[in-house]
Amino acid sequence: MHVLIFHLLSSLAAIKAAILIQRWYRQYVARTEMRRRYTWHIFQSIEYSAVNVSRNLISHIFRENEVCRDAEWERYFCYKNIEVPDIYSGPHLTFPLSVEQAVGLVQAFRDKKQQLHSRYVLQLLLETWKLLRMLPNINRISTCHSKEITICGDLHGQLEDLLLIFYKNGMPSLDKSYVFNGDFVDRGKDSIEILLILFAFLLVYPSDVHMNRGNHEDHIVNLRYGFTKEVLTKYKMHGKRILKLLQKIFSWLPLATVIDQKVLVLHGGISDSTDLSLLARLDRHNYVSALRPPKRRNTSSAGISIDSDIDEDWSNHKVFQRRASFTFPKPLGTRSSFQNRSLQDFSDRIKVNVEEELETCRRRSYTFNAGINRVEKEMAPCPSTDSVNSDNAKEEWKQVLDLLWSDPMTQDGCVPNEVRGGGCYWGPDITDDFLNRHNLQLIIRSHECKQDGYEFCHNRKVLTLFSASNYYDVGSNRGAYVKLGPDLVPYVVQYQASSMTRELTVRQSVGRTERSALKVLREQLFAHKSDLISAFKTFDSENTGLVSLTDWASVVESVMHLGLPWRMLRFQLVTCKTSDGMIDYNEWFNELAIKAPNTDNIEQGLLETLYRHRSTVETIFRIVDTDNSGFITIEDFRQTWKLLSIYLKMEFTDEAISDLAVTIDVNQDGNIDIDEFMEAFRLTDKKSRLERGRSMFMGTATDLTKLEGDPDI
């Protein structure tokens, strides 16, 4: 009897222990999942808040006017005068390319051998351009020619992901067809290598390798997100010619692919007005950048060809004349003439009243744009334009913009995509209508990072596919590709390319990603310091410097508009609490230190603006640095800030700008190292040992006033 009781008690103790362990494990899993989700939410909220910020400013700096014929461009891109030295040990290419050469290119890039010589790069790109010009806007392919077709999403310069896909799935061949769905470049460090590999296989297997254009196949976007800098860094001598040729190639990439007349593969999405028949017949190469409206060609009484931009707000039908375009080449300007006649002209308008401003704009419209165009003309031997003569220009442009920039949403309807600043959000009803009208059954799109690498929505009629794993940080997300057989049932393959993820436990992986996300979030909070403190003071009528947790969370969301669970994040973001739970908001900001030589003499407003608009500032620096030296003069630096001040409708004194310039010019040689400047102004948390955050999230605020139609500019 005693033995039975003993066993019964032992069993009960074991059951209790098991229940406790199970409860603890469930709580642990729940906490880990909660951390994973809010980390993901932080990354996505901050990334998308930065997408729409500087596109207006940058697109207005770059006004391009192409009238050169294809034959003239081919002469400009000629590679024959470029010699390959005997010491070059990288891959050698002969044309037409063979399979062995394409595979050799993959192996060379995989083994980190010497980069492909610029002569071969230009030759490969020229052959690709010739081929793309023969392709339709919408490729139509079939699974009957191969047992299955593999579709890949965004790669974003992450060569490791492409190599892993080839390792797991096999390289392109007559029996292994691929569709690469755009966004091959930007953000990652190996964008040019990815393009060269894909273009090589496209030339070898033109019927089995297909490439759709993404929203990052756009020279204006490339300026902001790294591809331009990558090419100019790797190919210092011929980088500008390579970029110009890539700009032409991007405009000729097909817009979509249809598989077996049933599956539509495109980069972004659709809208309530998407029409495949219209997309199939428009001149896609006219849309060199989808970020700006097309231009209409008119002829003045003096016989001058006038390019006019169609305003983005089609409901108002406003047309803004940008400049006169002559049909003969103009001489290139010097660096001094650029800085004197472009940024200077732009920034001098700050102190002019409205009446004088309007008259000045009319008188200088041609002179100013001619000066600004000198930046672009160094990349081309003659002027050029993507002018559109068609009366359907605005509708065509909207179709292309929607296709490249749109995202699905759970609600019915179709609304403008204010987050990205282009395209739309479309709902399940729009999907059903579109599929019925075009007799399709599935849309495969990319454009959005997903934690699992893919995501179905709209009753499994829309599949989002993202192939860049570890996109935000190591362990942040998986990559995926899809295989389609004759049954057209998607088979998803997931992966994670970094070997580091295999060495980390789940807890370590989540913790690493969480620290990186919080680092980026702290940077964003500091960039809005003045706005936050001003908002805090409305809840602190007695000026104690203290606010409650509820008020703190409310203020932060009202200023940041990120939709994050701030009360939950309080423990990670705030350590300066009083005994009664109040938050000292002044001390909260003091916890952030600035990694810079000396910021004591720098005006606080200028410093905050630098952090809030750091990516935009760097982009302008790259434009001003016309010789790609990595340095800009003090005068260039001043003009950059004046240009930015007009865009932001803020005024910075010359003294404040000069103090900032002197602080950075440590050796006092009159030049500023761009990379050192951008690296110097980072935030470091005194009380946290944080992982390195990606600078691509250093975006600006979403509430900037748009330039288009602004009489002050």
Could you list the active site residues?
216
Long-range (24+ apart) CB contacts under 8 A made by 499-502 are 500/474, 500/475, 501/470, 501/474, 501/475
Structure tokens at 161: 């992901």
Are the beta carbons of 67 and 384 closer than 8 angstroms?
yes
Tokens of 210: 């297909």
- Please list, in sequence order, all residues whose beta carbon lies within 8 angstroms of the beta carbon of residue 402, skipping any fewer than 6 positions away: 268, 269, 270, 271, 273, 274, 423, 424
DSSP strand pairing (414-416 vs 424-426): antiparallel
- Crossing angle of helices 191-204 and 227-234, rounded to 10°: 80
Q: Which amino acid is at 444?
A: I
| DSSP three-state, residue 633 | strand
Output the CA torsion 558→561→564→569 (10° steps): -50
Task: Give the SS3 label for residue 23.
Answer: helix
Cα 1 to Cα 14: distance, rounded to the nearest angstrom: 20
C-alpha pair distances (Å), 376 with each of 30, 385, 632: 53, 12, 17
Q: Provide the sign of the torsion angle of the four alpha carbons 108, 110, 111, 112, taken in this order.
A: positive
DSSP 301: T
58-62 LR contacts (CB < 8 Å, sep 24+): 58/220, 58/223, 58/224, 58/616, 58/619, 58/620, 58/623, 59/220, 59/289, 59/291, 59/292, 60/707, 60/713, 61/372, 61/375, 61/620, 61/623, 62/219, 62/220, 62/223, 62/372, 62/375, 62/376, 62/623
Backbone angles phi, psi at 447, to 5 degrees: 75, -20
Beta bridge partner(s), residue 635: none
CA–CA distance, 215 with 1 (Å, rounded to integer): 78
- In angstroms, how far is the first alpha carbon of the chain from the final one? 96
Q: Return the sign of the alpha-carbon dihedral for residues 31, 33, 38, 39.
A: positive
Write down the residue that tokens 């002019």 correspond to.
352
Name the strand (E) or helix (H) holding 454: strand 454-457
Contacts by 76-82, CB closer than 8 A, 24 or more apart: 76/241, 76/244, 76/380, 76/381, 77/122, 77/125, 77/126, 77/241, 77/244, 77/245, 78/122, 79/118, 79/119, 79/120, 79/122, 79/123, 79/126, 82/117, 82/118, 82/119, 82/122, 82/238
Could you tell me the sign of the dihedral formed by the alpha carbons of 542, 545, 547, 551, in that order?
positive
Neighbours of 60 (CB within 10 A): 19
